Amino acid sequence: MTTTLPATPAPIPRDALVPVLDPTGSGRMLPQEAYTSDDVLTWEREHFFARTWVCAGRSADLATPGDRRAVSIGDDSVVLVRGDDGQVRAFYNVCRHRGHELVPCGAAASRRNAIHCPYHAWTYSLDGSLRATPRFDEPPGFDKADFGLVPVRAEEWHGWVMVNVSGDAPPLAEYVGALDEIVAPYECERLVATTTHEYELGANWKLPLENYHECYHCPAIHPELCVVSPPASGDNYDLPGAFIGGTMDLEPHAETMSMTGASGGVVLRGLDATLRRQVIYVGVFPNLLLSLHPDYVMTHRIEPRSPSRSWVECQWLFAPEAVESDGFDPSYAVDFWDVTNRQDWHACEGVQRGVSSRGYRPGPFSEAEDAVQQFVTFVARGYLGGTLSLANG
Ligand code: FES
Ligand SMILES: [Fe+2]
């Protein structure tokens, strides 16, 4: 992928990235600056968050015309709105009068039939066009048509809203590449998010992603997980698209990932015999993790807060026929992964403390960490080239 924006390498010495990309070895962890530097995070917000497709949440949160929500993406705040025509649109969260923010960022979705600026009450239609400028003495030549909200690229993808703030990422279909087919049987667009947890962790945003892409740590920190899924099982994908991940098997006694291996839900109707016996774990660069189980989907959406802090939203999605059934209780999945999430965050925070030390030296990866190597390779190439390559491997 090439962008039309200037490709500026990240503020990390080139020499520090050479070992990460060493073609003769297993690669190395990223250098310290990648986990601790304000300048690197500033660069990442622009190059990894503004110039890619970032997941902004579930489109079901904007179910009805007039529903809107503001999210922060990179350095920008973006308003997502469901229009009268049913389409989700995105706009920069900036009034065209004197620039006031239109909708508080991070607040729950709300509904009105127009977008009202809280400062001088300019009003925009749901399609972003300027509708009213109360008590405004129009200067000569003023034309409302020139002052609509500035649009941002947004598309719905399997029930998620994907946003490209810079406007020049490749088409979404090309960006996600082969992942589209991997995700399709789960019919995520029809699944219902019953539960959302938010976590704040004291770790750089890349550490939970690196951690997600290997189960070498599972025997040491996830006793519950190892009961239902063999940590060394499964294969990783090497396919086109800005994603990394692979499969893991379920133990013979386990129907899904839960404390006992029992499911409290319904097997997703589109899954074949193979998919019913495994879990797919994929990370869509930069901020969405999809964990596709036989009977539910779990997602993590990650946002950097500072070089050493991140926010993670975790959601659990089930088939509507499961959610509507008498006595349905999602806790079999939620409790299992909440325990596992907390074990992972504890580990990530331990790594953050380590990589912040004067004693940190980037270490090598085992074969079981090949997807982490893929991830840091992807990141390091981005740092050097000033842009992302969609090629895996
Ligand atoms: S800044 Fe929005 S109406 Fe004035
Ligand atoms: Fe883990």
Instruction: Name the closest-CA residue to atom 4, ligand 1.
Output: 120
Residue 283's closest CA among 191, 381, 200, 392? 392
Q: What is the pLDDT of residue 390?
A: 61
pLDDT digits (tens, 9 = 90+) for 67-79: 999 999 999 999 9
Ligand with smallest separation from the Cα of 226: 2
Residue 202: both structure tokens together: 């004291």
Q: What is the pLDDT of residue 391?
A: 54
What parts of the chain have a pLDDT lower than 50? 1-3, 393
Q: Is the CB of 98 under 6 A from ligand 1?
A: yes
Q: Is the CB of 97 under 6 A from ligand 1?
A: yes
- Residue positions counted in the chain: 393
Q: What is the pLDDT of residue 2?
A: 40
Ligand with smallest separation from the Cα of 220: 2
Q: Is the CB of 117 under 6 A from ligand 1?
A: yes
Average of per-residue pLDDT values in the chain: 95
Query: Which residues, in sequence order, are CB contacts of 259 under 8 Å at separation 6+?
Result: 224, 227, 332, 335, 336
Q: From CA 325, how far away is CA 317, in angstroms rounded?
A: 15
Q: How far is CA 268 from the centre of its chain?
A: 23
Distance from the CA of 248 to the center of ligand 1, in angstroms? 52
Name the pTM for this structure. 0.95
117 Cα nearest atom in ligand 1: 2
Distance from the CA of 163 to the center of ligand 1, in angstroms? 25
Choosing from 98, 116, 147 the residue with most ligand 1 atoms within 8 A of its CB, the one to mutate for a pocket test is 98
Contact, 114 vs 124, CB < 8 A?
yes
Phi, psi of 314 (to 5 degrees): -115, 130
Instruction: Name the closest-CA residue to atom 1, ligand 1.
Output: 98
Amino acid (one-letter) located at 386: G
Distance from the CA of 122 to the center of ligand 1, in angstroms? 6
- CA torsion sign, 351 to 302 to 248 to 194? positive
Ligand with smallest separation from the Cα of 102: 1
